[in-house]
Amino acid sequence: MTWIDHKAKIDTSGGRLRVKNFTTTKMPAPEMSYSVTETAEIFGVDRQTIYKWLSTDMPEYSIFEPGEWFKLPISGQIRIKRKAILKIQDGSV
């Protein structure tokens, strides 16, 4: 498609180029998450303990399920979802 196909949608009144009936979609708010250090401070344990709780290799120590935490794409830092922390604080584990 060329710009001519979209000419009816373009508004040039007032010296500005605008698209008529342009709507935006609202992005959902990002879910609250905590770093390993913040999580360790919340529970009063060492960071290594949090890494054990995240471990899938040692199921006897694993508290957080794989869907309850994620790694940031570029840095690889781990973030733990707020829901998972609240679940542990409530004693639901």
40 and 48 in contact (C-beta within 8 Å)?
no
Sorted by where each begins, the domain ranges of the chain are 33-89
Q: Report the C-alpha gap between 73 and 67 in whole angstroms.
A: 16
At 69, phi and psi to the nearest 5? -145, 160
Calculate Rg over the CA atoms of the chain.
23
pLDDT at 7: 56
How many C-alpha atoms does 53 have within 13 Å on its Cβ side?
21
The pLDDT tens digits for 44-73 are: 999 999 999 998 787 788 888 888 999 999
Neighbours of 36 (CB within 10 A): 19
pTM, entire model: 0.64
